[in-house]
């Protein structure tokens, strides 16, 4: 046992002969993910016969034994904080939470605590995936601070990797409810427009020719009387601010959006009366294959009270 770390003796199995070292070690030490082992190898934490091995792609041979030094979790800059959580699902591998608007997902400049990560550290007793590092333990994906709704976080590296692969493959079922200005015509369609940081304003996302592919499928759920509509947006990809930028590009910006919206006078008065000061966007549905049990899971969340009140007032 090294001070501040534990050492695991890992012997390469006959079936792993000739594999990449990171893959072979992941086979030998199921508690460590291949991604975590890549970092450990590159960081000089793996030895064979007292010699450091720093190449994750090095071929492993059956019967070789390696000493893998796993540092104890670094003292988190993020403190566990007793912040109430609405939990849709939880097991030993992952947790699905219904995030309220106003809650930042992870600490960053300007929001050093009071985040979802702080709440998860308290609730999960520190048992969160380490792939995201000290700053973002367990975080597989994000939703904006002022967007409400469903998110999944990983408790283990294996769960994290399995979920991350589904996000990368665009196989996660993610559907948002948005209240938009105007009434889309046609009432349903798709936006396939690449997104990247705006060349004019780096704090904004824009449709740019050399951006990342982004696809949003939308359909009108209900036309509202006061020149607005409730729209469901299904994400094929999951880029930053995707729904907000894509709907604004159609001329139907989200009500309350301080960045991409140009609020009509009639809507502005209503938003002020209600004290509604965020984009009207809610992550209402989340579906995926459990990365460990392989069971299909699907969760739904109703619009929070502030969006429900806005919806009602727009329809009177």
Question: What pLDDT, in 10s, does the model give residues 171-213?
Answer: 999 999 999 999 999 999 999 999 999 988 888 999 999 999 9
pLDDT tens for each residue of 218-257: 999 999 999 999 999 999 999 999 999 999 999 999 999 9
Of the two residues 133 and 210, the one the predictor is more confident about is: 210
173 close to 298: Cβ distance less than 8 angstroms:
yes
Lookup: tokens for 55:
């190449």
Q: In whole angstroms, how large is the CA radius of gyration of the chain? A: 23
Poorest-pLDDT segment among 36-45, 147-156, 171-180, 306-315: 36-45
DSSP code, position 303: P
Q: What is the mean pLDDT of residues 101-129?
A: 87
Q: What is the mean pLDDT of residues 126-139?
A: 84
281 close to 176: Cβ distance less than 8 angstroms:
yes
Lookup: tokens for 247:
């709907």
Asked if residue 155 has pLDDT above 80, the reply is: yes
* CA separation for the pair 52, 62 (Å, rounded): 18
Looking at the chain, the domain(s) classified CATH 3.30.2350.10 span 76-169, 170-315
* CA separation for the pair 274, 252 (Å, rounded): 21
pLDDT band at residue 128 using 50, 70 and 90 as cut-offs: very high
Poorest-pLDDT segment among 6-20, 51-65, 101-115, 291-305: 101-115
Q: Which CATH superfamily is domain 76-169 in?
A: Pseudouridine synthase (3.30.2350.10)
| Mean pLDDT score across all residues of the chain | 93
Looking at the chain, the domain(s) classified CATH 3.10.290.10 span 5-71
Chain CA centroid to CA 40, Å = 24
pLDDT tens for each residue of 44-96: 999 999 999 999 999 999 999 999 998 876 554 678 999 999 999 999 999 99
Question: 84-104: string of b/e by CB count within 10 Å (b at 16+)?
Answer: ebeebeeeebbbbbbbebebb
Asked if residue 147 has pLDDT above 70, the reply is: yes
Catalytic residue IDs? 144
Q: State the pairing for strand pair 228-235/173-181.
A: antiparallel
pLDDT for 108: 75
56 close to 20: Cβ distance less than 8 angstroms:
yes
pLDDT band at residue 3 using 50, 70 and 90 as cut-offs: low
Q: Is 122 helix (H, G, I), strand (E, B) or coil?
A: helix
Q: What is the mean pLDDT of residues 102-130?
A: 87
Query: Which residues, 6 or more positions from 95, have their beta carbon under 8 angstroms from its beta carbon?
Result: 87, 89, 120, 123, 124, 138, 152, 153, 155
User: What is 5-71's CATH number?
Assistant: 3.10.290.10
* CA separation for the pair 78, 82 (Å, rounded): 13
Q: Which of 161, 207, 201, 191 has its CA nearest to residue 34?
A: 161
Q: Is 295 helix (H, G, I), strand (E, B) or coil?
A: coil
* CA separation for the pair 298, 284 (Å, rounded): 11
Q: Which CATH superfamily is domain 170-315 in?
A: Pseudouridine synthase (3.30.2350.10)
Lookup: tokens for 14:
């006959």
Percent of the chain with pLDDT over 70: 96
- Kindly tell me the burial class for residue 200, based on how many C-beta atoms sit within 10 Å of its own C-beta (0-12, 13-18, 19 or more): exposed
291 close to 166: Cβ distance less than 8 angstroms:
yes
The whole-model pTM stands at 0.76
For tokens 């030895």, what's the residue?
A: 47
């Amino acid at each position: 046992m090294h001070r501040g770390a534990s050492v695991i003796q890992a012997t390469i199995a006959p079936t792993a002969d000739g594999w990449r070292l990171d893959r072979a070690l992941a086979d030998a030490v199921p508690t460590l993910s291949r991604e975590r082992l890549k970092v450990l190898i590159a960081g000089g934490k793996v030895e064979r016969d007292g010699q450091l091995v720093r190449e994750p792609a090095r071929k492993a041979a059956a019967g070789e034994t390696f000493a893998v030094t796993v540092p104890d979790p670094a003292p988190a800059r993020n403190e566990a904080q007793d912040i109430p959580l609405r939990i849709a699902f939880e097991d030993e591998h992952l947790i699905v939470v219904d995030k309220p608007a106003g809650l930042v997902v992870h600490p960053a400049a300007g929001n050093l605590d009071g985040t979802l990560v702080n709440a998860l550290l308290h609730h999960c007793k520190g048992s969160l995936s380490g792939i995201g590092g000290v700053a973002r333990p367990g975080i597989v994906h994000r939703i904006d601070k002022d967007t409400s709704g469903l998110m999944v976080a990983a408790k283990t590296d294996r769960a994290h990797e399995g979920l991350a692969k589904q996000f990368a493959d665009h196989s996660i079922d993610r559907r948002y409810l948005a209240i938009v200005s105007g009434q889309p015509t046609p009432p349903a369609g798709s936006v396939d427009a690449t997104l990247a940081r705006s060349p004019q304003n780096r704090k904004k996302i824009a449709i740019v020719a050399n951006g990342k592919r982004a696809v949003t499928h939308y359909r009108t759920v209900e036309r509202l009387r006061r020149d607005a509509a409730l729209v469901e947006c299904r994400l094929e990809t999951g880029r930053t601010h995707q729904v907000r930028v894509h709907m604004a590009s159609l001329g139907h910006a989200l009500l309350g959006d301080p960045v991409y919206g140009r609020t009509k006078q009639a809507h502005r008065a209503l938003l002020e009366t209600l004290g509604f000061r965020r984009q009207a966007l809610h992550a209402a549905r989340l579906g995926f294959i459990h990365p460990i049990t392989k069971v299909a899971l699907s969760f739904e969340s109703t619009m929070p009270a502030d969006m429900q009140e806005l919806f009602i007032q727009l329809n009177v």
